[in-house]
Structure 1
Amino acid sequence: MLEELRITGLGVIEDTTLPLTRGMNVITGETGAGKTMVVTGLGLLFGGRADAGRVRADPGRATVEGRLRLSSQTAKAVAARVVDAGAEPDDDGSLLLSRTVTVEGRSRAHVGGRSVPVSLLGEIGEQTVAVHGQSDQLRLLRPAEQRASLDRFAGPEHEKLLTEYRELFTAWRRIEDDLADRRRNARERSQEADLLRLGLDEITRVAPQAGEDEELRTEAQRLEHAEGLRTAATIAHQAISGEDEAADASSLVNTARRSLEAQATLDPLLGELGLRLEEAASLLGDVAVELSAYLASLDADPERLQAIYERRAALRGLTRKYADDVEGVIAWADHAQKRLSELDVSDEALEELDRERQRLAGEVAGAAARLRAARLGAAGQFADKVTVELAGLAMPHSRVQVMVLPRPAGKSEPSLVVDGEEAGITADGADEVELRLLAHPGAPALPLQKGASGGELSRVMLAIEVVFAGAGGPPTLVFDEVDSGVGGQAAVEIGKRLARLARSHQVLVVTHLPQVAAFADRHLVVAKDTGGAITTSGVRVVEETARARELARMLAGLPDSDLGIAHAEELLAVAARERAA
């Protein structure tokens, strides 16, 4: 739930705070007072596109801040994503969000006091807030949106079916494209394959090994300086364990050790030093053994040195052509081998790809048929539930039909035989979904864009949202003048439905209808101040008499009319009784 929203420097709003509550929050005000800026601010707070043209020149930036109380349904997922981004909710479980936009168009976002990408605000918004405006009504007229609405209603199992279908569809299209490309560009692919084979043959003949160039360099250096290395090792070996025992290092250390051990009973410190000399003597012995082995292995072998020179020259030939080092050459060869399999345009390869394409096409058609069956099953339930809601929205004789029809073949997309009938097929299946409205008994079922007026479309959209709310969804719902074109009894019914939604969701409604505003748990008024040099707007909570005056203004444009106030109070009483019932 959104507990508080503060907006500064946005449009006509200089600085205002909206205290929000659970249930139904209504925002009203004169035309041009800035109601739309509240919705715009919400959009910014939850990752919407920033419009620098709405930022006030003074102070030169717009800031929207909000305090979000995470509900039990969304707390875990949102909190985990926030922590991943390096931020943290407050100790009381609330989350502070902030978005700033400058007149130059620069945008910054903060969550929990930490700077974050704007996209994180969008991710939080997807799980916590759903905004519906008049543009959503237009979007509902698009066939793709109607199909998405049905898929959303069908629930998690349907979503799983859709995901499985899309994975198969993607694999099938990848094979289709690959096969078409191989046939279309056979000559170019053959030329590229020939070049790769030449390179692979050269690398195979040399057969480079990882780390080989460094090992050869070290060995060549030893062979080139064998005499100097032998002299150094011999002198060191004689110094440690030469024939003259009185002069070599091992004998001298042992003599010192024995001298100290003889007096260790008189002073323990000498005993400790004697032990350290014993360790030194052991270390000298190990070094002497290793030097002896080194001298035995050291051999000036001109033939071996020549072989190393030749091997290093062969490796340099590869690194000049294919990569900077031997490891890069090996990686190039691995990539070339994989690429060759992709370039294969032999009859055998094309036939194998074609068999795989046909197999996947059959699986895609089967998955599309299962998806269609699921949509058909959900369509009846969806239509029935929306129709029931329309009856409660003063459209008692209207019915909604949800048609799931095969997508016509012959368009730009490919086609497959699904359920025995050829249909165009896309990443969303082989179906077209169309919402139709029967406005009254005996009327033809017409598509929404042809059969619904503006007011009817508003109510259809609200009915759909009520149905969706019953199946879960974001805990906060925002409606921006979705009651446009509605009045009279229909407006009262919209108020009832929004109040019903507010039992399980936080609802924010921007409205011009007093019949809707009367159902609010909290009523906020956006008021414009034109007394200064610059027009500004602020938001205030109205209660009791002030609320009745605001409703009177909405009813008749006369906030101080006794008759208007009496009518407003009667409307509030009716709404209170309806909500209680």
Structure 2
Amino acid sequence: MLTGLSIRDVVLIETLDLEFGPGLGVLTGETGAGKSILLDSLGLALGARADSGLVRAGQAQAVVSVSFDVGRDHPAHILLGDGGISVEPGEPITIRRILKADGGSRALVNDQAVSVALLRELGGMLVEIHGQHDDRGLLNARGHRTLLDIYGGIDTSAAEAAYRGWRAAEEKLTAARADLDHAERDREYLEHAVAELRALAPQPGEEEELAGLRANMQKGARLAEDIAAAAALLEGSEGGLAQLRQAARRLDRIASEHDKLAEALAAIDRAVIEASEAEDRLSEAAEAMAYDPARLEEAEARLFDLRAMARKHRVDCDALPALAEEMAAKLGAIHAGGEGLAALERQVAEHRAAFDAAAAELTRLRTQAAARLDMAVAAELQPLKLDAAKFRTVIEPLAEGQWSAKGKDRVEFEIATNPGAPFAPLAKIASGGELSRFILALKVALAERGGVATMIFDEIDRGVGGAVASAIGERLHRLAQGAQVLVVTHSPQVAARGGQHYFIEKSHDGTVTRTGVQALDAARRREEIARMLSGAEVTDEARAQASRLLEAA
């Protein structure tokens, strides 16, 4: 709901602050008082094109601010959240548009900068403005299908799920076909590569193992003489280890004779143990680095083959086993590709059939809802002096390329204004107040199913009076029971229906012309309706008639 409008330096408005409440609010005033300025200001705040001509003469900029109270589940919160704009729960949405005299403009929502595109989308969620030149709302055929679904209480979730399943299956099939086509082109290469890799049979860690073996054998060839010489000094009956053992046996017989002898024996025993260990390590080193020319040649050849294969496929040697499995899997997929595609094609057909059924059900439900809507609108036309007109909801099949999760139907509202005249879209054959009355009839018919919480009608009563004006007022009042409705009117019958009445007037101080707006109390409201009835001179009879209109409302 629109709760406030603040305007600074827009055309003839210097300073203006208005508060709005629920229900029906009416704006009246003499012709040329500046009602269009209010609507232009509101449109600017809701994303309309920035026209520097709106800036009041002599001022650097114009500023328009509007505030709305919306529920926590209002789609505006999702839109703002997606745009990075945070609004605290319970906090009003405040829009501010700043228009500079040089044509530049800025838009802010709750003091956070936003694009005009986002502002325009947000405005469409918050307010519907129905005027003579409005090309949005009910005049935009793109929204007619959604309006019909809302009116008919039609649940599209089954069609949406079926559509997503169908499209997902088609994407899988398309990807599988592309993979298979690519793989078919590489069949010969894959067969050769898999045969090579299987013949080589690489193992994880094999390169490191072969490189270590080769390095050890190369070291062994270089160190073999020194290792053998060191081993010879320790081994044999004349070696160092044998000499230590002989010394230990001699000392063992006399060690009890003196402490130092015992210590010497212990030291020699330790030396024997360390020397024995050294002898073992030398033996192990000799074995590990044993130089075998044939074995070295074999290891080097295997290492060369592994590295050559890795370079060929641009991977590490350790990745060759996994590469072999991957290529074998691709080759297997080629062989089984026909069967796999057939299975995916069956899935696509099944999902397509489910969508066809769900879409057909939507078409059936929409056809039923359209018949009810046509009757409901027809019932509203005669009281609005549109009894010669006919309304119909057209449901036509879309081309397959235009199908969506919402089904296969194109929906558009059409009218024929005179007997025998062809049906055509609303905006093409209706104009002025007639168009606004068509929109009112539609809005009243659709009102039970809800919609945008704030609606504004601009001179919906143009060119009519008497009973038709009363009918318009009655329907606006009815519409305002479930939404906030603001109407710019010249009709006293419509003005009398308002719960809030705002008077727009132009004033002069000799040099400057200004437009102002004031909320009227009961007495001033009766006087304004009397003016609307009688013209420039308000008579007692007009005041009495105004009182009767207010009492009847």
- TM-score over 0.5 for the pair: yes
Partner letter of residue 127 of structure 2? V
Aligned residue for 2:106?
Answer: 107
Rounded to whole Å, the distance in 1 between the matches of 2:462 and 2:87 is 40
Please name the residue that 2:369 is paired with: 378
State the shift of 1:59 in Å. Answer: 4.2
What amino acid maps onto 2:98 in structure 1? T
Q: Does 1:513 align with 2:491?
A: yes
The correspondence of residues 221-300 of structure 1 with structure 2, limited to 5 A, is none
Q: Where do 1:387-406 residues align within 5 Å?
A: 387-395=378-386, 400-404=391-395, 406=396
Once residues 540 and 204 of structure 1 are traced to their aligned partners in structure 2, the CA distance between those partners, rounded to angstroms, is 91
Q: Shift of the alpha carbon at 1:11?
A: 4.3
Distance in 1 separating the partners of 2:151 and 2:404: 20
RMSD after superposition: 5.6
Match for residue 20 of structure 1? 20
CA displacement, residues 510-533 of structure 1 (integer Å, 9 cap, x when unaligned): 234343223222222333456577
The Cα of 1:479 is off from its aligned counterpart by 2.0
| CA distance 1:517–1:354, change in 2 (3 Å) | same
**Distance in 1 between the 2:163 and 2:126 partners?**
27
Partner of 2:551: 577
Answer yes or no: is the 8 Å Cα contact 1:401–1:445 preserved in 2: no
**Equivalent residue, structure 1, for 2:466:** 488
- 1:163, 1:142 → 2: CA distance? 23
Whether the 8 Å contact between 2:132 and 2:433 is mirrored in structure 1 is no
> Is the contact made by 1:403 and 1:433 (CA closer than 8 Å) also made in structure 2?
yes
Relative to structure 1, the CA distance from residue 388 to residue 574 in structure 2 (aligned partners, 3 Å threshold; closer, same or farther) is: farther
8 Å contact 1:89–1:95 — kept in the other structure? no
Letter in 2 for 1:110: V
Classify 1:75/1:352 alpha carbon distance in 2 versus 1 (closer, same or farther; 3 Å): closer
Whole-Å separation in 1 of the counterparts to 2:304 and 2:511: 88
Q: Give deviations 1:239-287, integer Å, cap 9, x for gaps.
A: xxxxxxxxxxxxxxxxxxxxxxxxxxxxxxxxxxxxxxxxxxxxxxxxx
Q: Is 1:477 aligned with 2:467?
A: no
Q: Deviations over 1:164-218 (max 9, x none)?
A: 4653675588689x59x98xxx9x99579747996999799899xxxx99xx99x
Give the superposition deviation at 1:80.
7.5
For 1:149, the equivalent position in structure 2 comes to 147
Cα distance in 2 for partners of 1:379, 1:370 equals 14
Q: Is the Cα–Cα contact under 8 Å of residues 169 and 344 in structure 2 kept in the other structure?
A: no
In structure 2, the CA distance between the partners of 1:318 and 1:385, relative to structure 1 (3 Å rule), is same
In 2, are the aligned partners of 1:109 and 1:118 still within 8 Å (CA)? Answer: no
Alignment match of 2:538 (pick from 562, 565, 568): 562
Q: CA deviation at 1:550?
A: 4.4
Q: Is the 8 A contact 1:11 1:54 kept in 2?
A: yes
Q: Please list the CA deviations of residues 427-472 of structure 1 after superposition, one character each: whole Å capped at 9, or x if unmatched.
A: 65444545465879x8788456588675444222112212332212
Q: Where in structure 1 are there 5+ consecutive unaligned residues?
A: 228-295, 416-423
**Aligned residue pairs, count:** 467
CA distance in structure 2 between the aligned counterparts of 1:172 and 1:132, rounded to whole angstroms: 43
TM-score by length of 1: 0.60
Deviation at 1:68, TM superposition (A): 2.3
Which residue of 2 is the match for residue 407 of structure 1? 397
Structure 2 residue runs without a partner (length 5+): 199-203, 220-284, 291-295
Distance 1:116 1:444, change over 3 A: closer
Task: Decide whether the 8 Å contact of 1:483 with 1:511 is kept in 2.
Answer: yes
Q: Distance in 2 between matches of 1:108 and 1:310?
A: 69
Measure how far apart 1:370 and its partner are. 0.6
- Normalised by the length of structure 2, the TM-score is 0.63
* CA deviation profile, 1:95-119 (whole Å, cap 9, x unmatched): 43333344453423132x4445666
Report sequence identity in percent. Answer: 29
Higher alpha-carbon deviation: 119-128 or 534-543: 119-128
Rg (Cα) greater in structure: 2
Q: 1:510 and 1:116 mapped to 2: Cα distance?
A: 30
Tell me, in whole angstroms, the C-alpha distance in 1 between the residues paired with 2:32 and 2:194.
Answer: 75
Q: CA deviation at 1:539?
A: 2.5
Query: For 1:104-503, what aligned pairs fall within 5 Å after superposition?
Result: 104-111=103-110, 113-115=111-113, 121=119, 125=123, 127-136=125-134, 140=138, 144-155=142-153, 157-161=154-158, 163-164=160-161, 166-167=163-164, 170=167, 178=174, 194=185, 355=346, 358-395=349-386, 400-404=391-395, 406-407=396-397, 413-414=399-400, 429-433=407-411, 435=413, 446-447=423-424, 449=426, 455-503=433-481
Distance in 1 between the 2:431 and 2:120 partners? 33
